[in-house]
Amino acid sequence: MRYRKWLFLLCILLCTACTVQEARLVYRPKPTADPTAVPTDTPIPEPLEIPSVTGQPFKTDANGVLILDPLNHYYTYYITLNDVRIYEYEQGTFLDGVAVNSLSQTLTGGLRITFRNADGVVYGYGDLYTADGKLTLLPGENRIYAEIFTEVDVQKMNWEISAYDRFGPQNG
């Protein structure tokens, strides 16, 4: 029992000895004036003049979407292709699908599908058309068709749709 008291006191002394904190002064020299430096006045900045922007206002469609690419604008923003099927039949290659026009107006013009290999070389193309023989897309779903002009099998190639003729609203 006697050793426990001494051991306890020894532990307390060791713990307090480890936590001693001392205040120390840090020496920082005072800055001295440089006799070679001559104070100068701060220059007054010149006012910045921004000329007013002039020119034609930006063109937007009926929904207020900015038209940056007039040829592909309506295809890019308002047409969705669904159920696109590319197949070979007898001596030709064909496309069937559904184009959904989400604009509240009829869209007309010329859209072309182009097939490219992995290196970007064009191997086939075809113009899209609807049942009327042109490309007239009413609001909603429209069946689309194309005959693909190619000499090779393009069914597994990458393809893209782009406008080759003005594509947009009938009355605009």
Could you tell me the pLDDT band of residue 113, with boundaries at 50, 70 and 90? very high
CATH number at residue 110: 2.60.40
Could you tell me the pLDDT band of residue 162, with boundaries at 50, 70 and 90? confident
Give the pLDDT confidence of 44-53 residue by residue, as tens digits. Answer: 888 888 777 7
Is the CB of residue 147 less than 8 Å from the CB of residue 126? yes
**Mean predicted confidence (pLDDT) in 108-125:** 91
**Mean predicted confidence (pLDDT) in 112-120:** 90
Q: What is the pLDDT of residue 33?
A: 64
Could you tell me the pLDDT band of residue 100, with boundaries at 50, 70 and 90? very high
**Domain range spanning residue 154?**
73-169
| Domain membership flag for residue 6 | no
Residue of higher predicted confidence among 146 and 166: 146
| Domain membership flag for residue 121 | yes
| Domain membership flag for residue 94 | yes
| Domain membership flag for residue 68 | no
| Domain membership flag for residue 66 | no
| Domain membership flag for residue 160 | yes
| Domain membership flag for residue 126 | yes
| Domain count within the chain | 1
Contacts of 67 (CB under 8 A, 6+ apart): 58, 59, 60, 61, 73
CA 66 to each of CA 29, 56, 69, 70, 75: distance values in angstroms, whole numbers, following the listed order: 64, 13, 9, 10, 14
| Domain membership flag for residue 112 | yes
